[in-house]
Amino acid sequence: MERAQLETVCALQPPALRPVPVPSSALLARLAPLTPVPGRPDLVAHHAPDVMALWQAWEEECGAPQAVPFWATVWPAGQLLARVMQVEPAWVRGQTVLDLGCGSGMAGIAALDAGATRVVAHDIDPVALAIAARNARANAVALLLHGTPLLHASCPAPITCILVGDLFYERSTASALWVWLRTAHRQGVRVLIADASRPFAPTAGGRCLGLGGHACPDGAAPHPGRLRSL
């Protein structure tokens, strides 16, 4: 059995579906090694300096097309949330946190580092969940993984705080997401939203907490970051 097959995992997939081909440890070490997170050098995450190279090598390794590995970097909003957790840990201390659309899982990992009781890392990409779990282990914490879409129902009852990073990038989902978050807030859930000036991010409602420039992957120009609370 090939190494890639040995390291295949089932990340919250229904039993009827095939296992999810997570990149091997060797491939991640070569093309997406654990790297200090910009602005949070005390934390590490798998980061691909060249996402396209990683993507191509991953498809060659598993012998099948794969989705874009958005999990292979900590995006500007994730960096911002990780810094906020460090500077203002009261946001999450003692809370049960949902890291919605977690990607690399860094916002949730930073929340645990800041004193969150538990963090549910949610993503509809099972490979992202597997990488988030690896990143968590590298930082000596543990995430609860959740891969089922959430916007069709109410926010799960145990959740007391939601972290949202860079999810308002498509018009078709942005309005539904905003309604879902506002509903959760009315039910008493804290909501903290960070985005890198995405075109469909909310500009009204809630409270704008700060602005800043944040390093982007692959040497791109910094995006202005926005932080909003409900």
Are 118 and 225 within one domain?
A: yes
pLDDT, residue 90, reads 94
For 68-109, the pLDDT digits (tens) are 999 999 998 899 999 999 999 999 999 999 999 999 999 999
Q: Are residues 93 and 201 in the same domain?
A: yes
Q: Select from 9, 18, 13, 7 the least CA-distant residue to 147.
A: 13
- Residue 185: pLDDT band (50, 70, 90) is very high
pLDDT surpasses 80 at 228:
no
CA distance 132 to 59: 20
**Which of 72, 102, 124 is a domain's end point?**
72
Provide the pLDDT for residue 169.
Answer: 76
> Coil, strand, or helix at residue 188?
coil
Q: Which of 91, 72, 196, 96 is nearest to 146 (CA)?
A: 96
Residues 174 and 121 in one domain: yes
> How many whole angstroms separate alpha carbon 180 and alpha carbon 83?
25
Q: What is the pairing mode between strands 118-122 and 96-100?
A: parallel
User: Do both 39 and 153 map to the same domain?
Assistant: no
The reply to whether 92 and 166 lie within a common domain is yes
pTM of the model: 0.83
pLDDT over 90 percentage in the chain: 67
Domain boundary among 37, 52, 72: 72
Distance between CA atoms of 211 and 44, rounded to whole angstroms? 24
- The total number of structural domains that make up the chain: 2
Q: Which one, of 82, 22, 77, 71, lies nearest residue 48 by Cα? A: 71
CA distances from 179 to 186, 226, 230 (A): 11, 19, 12
Q: Are residues 17 and 87 in the same domain?
A: no
122, 31: one domain? no
Same domain, yes or no: 35 and 80: no
Where residue 16 falls among pLDDT bands split at 50, 70, 90? very low
Largest Cα–Cα separation, the chain: 54
Among 16, 48, 72, where does a domain finish? 72
Q: Are residues 172 and 218 in the same domain?
A: yes
What does the pLDDT average to over 113-136?
97
Task: Note the pLDDT of residue 7.
Answer: 35
Which CATH number goes with the domain that contains 113?
A: 3.40.50.150
Q: Do 85 and 147 lie in a common domain? A: yes
Mean pLDDT lowest among 62-66, 121-125, 143-147, 164-168:
164-168
Average pLDDT over residues 113-135: 97
Cα–Cα distance measured from residue 162 to residue 14, given in angstroms and rounded to the nearest whole number: 25
- In a shared domain, residues 41 and 91: no
Average pLDDT over residues 119-146: 97
Same domain membership, residue 121 and residue 223: yes
* Enclosing domain of residue 10: 3-72
The reported pLDDT for the residue numbered 65 is 94
Q: Report pLDDT digits (tens) over 199-208.
A: 666 655 554 4
